[in-house]
Amino acid sequence: MADTADTAHVMIRPPLAWGLAVLAGFALNGLVPLPFLPTDLPAGWLGAMVFVFGLALVAWAIVTMTRAGSNVPTNRPTTTIVETGPYRFTRNPIYLGMFLGLIGLSIAFDNLWLLLMLVPFAIIIRYGVVAREEVYLERKFGDVYRGYRARVRRWL
Q: What is the pLDDT of residues 120-149, one digit of tens each?
A: 999 999 999 999 999 999 999 999 999 999
Alpha carbon distances (Å) from 16 to 13, 43, 87, 131, 148: 5, 26, 22, 18, 28
Using a pLDDT cut of 70, give the percent of the chain over it.
97
Mean pLDDT of 11-35: 98
Residue 94 has pLDDT above 90, yes or no: yes
From the list 14, 17, 21, 15, the residue with the least C-alpha distance to 111 is 21
Using a pLDDT cut of 90, give the percent of the chain over it.
97
User: Residue 17 contacts by C-beta under 8 Å, 6 or more apart in sequence?
Assistant: 121, 124, 125, 128, 129
pLDDT for the residue numbered 5? 81
Residue 1 has pLDDT above 60, yes or no: no
Mean pLDDT of 25-49: 97
Fill in the amino acid letter for 86. P
Mean pLDDT of 79-100: 98
Q: Which contiguous run of DSSP H or E holds residue 99?
A: helix 93-108
Alpha carbon distances (Å) from 94 to 10, 45, 68, 79, 80: 15, 23, 15, 17, 16
Residue 21 has pLDDT above 60, yes or no: yes
From the list 35, 19, 10, the residue with the least C-alpha distance to 102 is 19
pLDDT for the residue numbered 133? 98
Domain ranges of the chain: 13-151
